[in-house]
Amino acid sequence: MKTSNAGSADVQDLELADGRQLWQHVSQLVDTWGRDVLGENGLSAVGAVVGATYPKEVGAIRGLLPRSVLLLLGIGAQGAKPKDVVPAFSAGRASALVSTSRTVIFADSPAAEARRLAAEIWALSG
């Protein structure tokens, strides 16, 4: 998929013969693989890792993967902001998981920072 590391573009943004980028092709594969494994809530058992450091792509990937759970990386230490993950929740609150490891681990009060980030993300995503 489109991961949060700075060098991801070297591979994931490669243009294919049909004009799509590699991450778009992988998104299509994930959607295809997950169509037959939907849970009661309509979400697929096949998900994807997405870098919140690429907010434009977060929305595009959600559009390509309307039923997949997205694991969002890069909030905090890598520069992404809570507002950058909002499009990932368009399929409902259970449709995305946000990882904020370093921001929480290195906070003066990790539990308070985790609660603060969760509250901010929920408020923004509705």
Instruction: Return the pLDDT at 3.
Output: 75
The β-bridge partners of 38 are: 44
What is this structure's pTM?
0.88
| Structural domain containing residue 11 | 6-125
Please report whether residue 66 resides in a domain: yes
22 contacts 98 by C-beta, under 8 angstroms: no
Query: What average pLDDT does this structure show over 36-65?
Result: 93
Query: What average pLDDT does this structure show over 70-89?
Result: 92
Q: What is the pLDDT of residues 17-42, one digit of tens each?
A: 999 989 999 999 999 999 999 999 89
* Exposure string over 56-74, b if 16+ CB within 10 A, otherwise e: ebbbbbbebbebbbbebbb
Query: What's the residue count for the chain?
Result: 126
CATH of the domain at 42: 3.20.20.70
Amino acid (one-letter) located at 73: L
Please report whether residue 34 resides in a domain: yes
Instruction: Return the pLDDT at 6.
Output: 75
| Neighbouring C-alpha atoms within 13 Å toward the C-beta of 114 | 9
Domain count, the chain: 1
